[in-house]
A = this chain, B = another copy of it.
Amino acid sequence: MRSLFAVPLLFLVAHVSAKVSRLSHPHTYHKEHPDTYINEADFKDSGYPPPRTHAPSSNIWATLSNDEAASVIHWLHHQNSLNLTSAKKAGAWDNTISVVDLLAPNKTDANKYLSGQGPKPPRYAVATIMFGASEHPYVQDIGVGPLPISNNTHLLDLSYLSTKGSTKIRNYNSDEELQTKFLRNISTSVADITKDLINMTITTHDHSQGDIWGIDPLWIEDDRVIYWVSYFGNVQGFQFDGTTLLPQGLFFKCDITGRDISKWSVKGWYYNGQFWNSTEAFRDAWEHGKIQKADQINSPYLDADQHAWYGTDRFGKALPHDEKAPPVSIAPEGQRFAVDSKNRYVEWMDFSFYITFTRDTGMRLFDVKYKNQTILYELGLQEAIAHYAGSDPVQTGTAYLDTYYSFGAYAFELVDGYDCPTYSHYLNATFHAGEESRTHRNAICLFEMDMQLPISRHSSAKYVTVTRNTALVLRSVSTVGNYDYTFSYYFYLDGSIEVKVSASGYIQSAYYAQNDEYGYRIHHGLSGSMHDHVLTFKADVDVLGTNNSFAKHGAVASKESYPWSAGHKRSTMKMNRTWIGSEDESRLHVEGNGQVQYLVLNKDETNEYGEPRGYRIMPGMGGLHHLTIQESEDLINSQSFATHHMYITKQKDTEPRVSNANNNLNPRDPIVDFNKFFDGDSLDQEDLVLWVNLGMTHIPHTGDLPNTVQSTAQSSFMLLPHNYLKGDPSRQTKEMVRIQYGKKNEDMAKVHTFGSLPHPRGLLNLSSAYADLTQYAGDVAIRKFPYDPLHPYNDTDSIV
């Protein structure tokens, strides 16, 4: 399972673990403090303030407020049927609440409300409950609503959101504390061997030298629950978070079926290409000198003690002129976008959108409008896979489904001036897990950026004209364990939107032995384990309403004769216009050479020249990406959204998301199997949803040490107007110039600036271009007991 940080993680595996902060003694604070509840939207947005605006509608997708979350938790504890134990008191055999989040309204209801045709959809929560009090523990999503809590509030069966008709999923991993004990018991029994082979011991009484963890998800082999694990180094005094660079190359296979630890067993050991089917056989081989040892000198565990190759601090020769400050951006006249803070609603130029934030997928956008027309009902992350491969069982068995760990819980405070410019406006982000509400301060930034490449220009014999390319950027960063994913949404003046993921942080690596076909040797004893990143985005594009069709317009080589060609067939190309008629043909790979345009068109809304208006999906930097591995046995029925570059399905209120965060618990029998979305529905003038995969095949090389660099580790797609308007809308901006050349040796050039100049005058205090980072302060966590919403406690010694 994913090793999230080097330190024990009370909070990070909160989703299905009992190791969470707890709520006890629920009380009726809701009524006691009706006006004092704390919500991320109310008190903490910071940075350069934008002008205020008023959202045309309420943000019906808004994150549950702390108040709502607490009231739902309180109410659930009073539902006897659930037999809940408060998180504080609960053990692995209790039923507990893992996560409380918003149950988004059905699009059907939302659209009625947004168009003034229906009431505001009632608020509902979804609670993820761990039912541990059983030989067959499971996790289930249950709806609660309507909110606020009233006599009408009830438990809502959410099986309509599951492709198998149930939101229950078997949890084979509910006894993590026992697992740790079990693994250390085994390790203790072979301490003499591990000391010899990998120069470390992990025992029940001293587990400071390293850690034991392994495959993710767990394997089910012949109805047995299999957990292959590996030793990782954890050097004393290690100041950098580089444990995923310290695999030791020793593995053992555990059968952890059932909840009785006495029935768990070791099924074999693997080291340097050799396998033994029992601990006894392993010991016997070792005692008889039959183990072919890999050189200890190559062990990264040793190496880590000696050098700082894994460190991210500055080192090496100083770079010339680097002592000077580099260029920096300033916003001389303040923000040019407007925010309705309460509704998490943003307006920039002719765009507007609502932001929500949830535990599973972090930041998402709703009702993205351009020129007062909805172009996207929803845009955001759905799921992310990191699928490894290798000669050893742990790399083979690693295929993270990362919303299980979550992007919201790990969307930490951004570093002002580094992750985003100092003139950014920051939003906080809250989620509710482990019966605690936690607010990441400054987790989302909004800023304008000069792309330093004009959006258009033209030189002619008499004049030159150039228009600035200023974009609005919306960004958050989620550090899911070793890897940092930066999610950036760029809005451009031509009406296009770019969705970009970039990746940094520490790679997960493999021991070098036997692994040359699966990665490069990147350090002593270390292989840069190859893997695929696939990050699935939902783009619920609506072009002038929800009745849309999907077209491929491709340039195709052909031979044609013409009235003027005297019968000769000339080699040429033509535009081949085809429709994707139904879900039977809507799993797409982007075709080579960029010759095909992928288009959401509205056949009923043609422009005055007869072309259907639409939006185009275009691969950007790095292109789209799907899994290289076919029919992964790690992911089984939980990978069908990652096998192609793009999918189109008919929108259904029962199919809001490609996956469920808990699919990871039992990928063979997931709550949502995306494959089931494909039931042959017509896509002809229907409400279409696009599912678009970003990512990359990553074969780390030495340049990924210590961290992967984002100069190249980027993947993006663009959504751009296509015959949508009469012309390029960036003509509306004043930020352009036309220079009419002066006469020979006489006049100066005539400069037409359309009101954008004269430029701002006066003096800028340079300190405004640099942040005071001592204010980086970590999360605000709201304990529910003792409960004092006006004095949240500060948790800055650790952001997790």
Contacts and interface: CB of A to CB of B under 8 A. Distances in A.
Given A524-B609, A760-B766, A563 B273 contact: yes
Interface in A490-520: 492-496, 498, 502, 504-506, 517-520
Nearest to A622: B594
B415 A313 contact: no
Interface in A709-764: 709-712, 714, 718, 720-739, 741-745, 748-752, 754-757, 759-764
Nearest to A464: B415
A337 interface: yes
Given A461-B800, A763-B766, A710 B521 contact: no
Contact of A794 (B633, B701, B744): B744
Given A322-B733, A711-B469, A415 B739 contact: yes
Contacts of A449: 327, 452
B322 A734 contact: yes
Contact of A555 (B349, B530, B593, B724): B530
Interface string A755-798: 11101111111110110011111100000000000000111111
Interface stretch (A99-107, A542-550, A624-632): A624-632
A652 to B, nearest CB: 29
A320 interface: yes
A131 interface: no
Interface stretch (A122-130, A192-200, A388-396): A388-396
Interface residues of A, number: 228
A532 interface: yes
Nearest to A750: B774
Contacts of A451: 711
A611 interface: yes
A573 interface: yes
Interface in A327-346: 327-338
Given A6-B461, A571-B630, A702-B724, A456 B330 contact: no
A798 B741 contact: yes
A556 B663 CA distance: 26
A412 interface: yes
Interface in A375-402: 389, 391-393, 396
27 contacts: A7-B461, A251-B564, A312-B738, A313-B731, A320-B350, A326-B470, A396-B572, A453-B488, A456-B708, A459-B799, A492-B711, A493-B711, A494-B712, A571-B631, A593-B628, A595-B697, A621-B621, A623-B623, A702-B726, A703-B721, A703-B723, A711-B720, A712-B718, A742-B778, A744-B795, A757-B770, A759-B767
Nearest to A714: B453
A714 to B, nearest CB: 8
A745 B780 CA distance: 11
Given A324-B333, A557-B629, A731 B314 contact: yes
Contact of A325 (B332, B721, B800): B332
B761 A766 contact: yes
Given A314-B731, A330-B330, A749-B777, 18 more contacts: A241-B463, A312-B456, A312-B731, A320-B338, A322-B732, A323-B734, A325-B759, A419-B454, A455-B711, A520-B609, A706-B728, A743-B797, A744-B795, A749-B773, A749-B774, A749-B796, A759-B766, A760-B770
Given A555-B699, A741-B799, A799-B461, A309 B726 contact: yes
A263 interface: no
B697 A725 contact: no
Interface in A549-598: 553, 555-557, 562-565, 570-575, 589-590, 592-595, 597
Contacts of A448: 326-327
A429 to B, nearest CB: 14
Contacts of A562: 275, 391-393, 396
A270 interface: yes
Interface in A636-688: 645
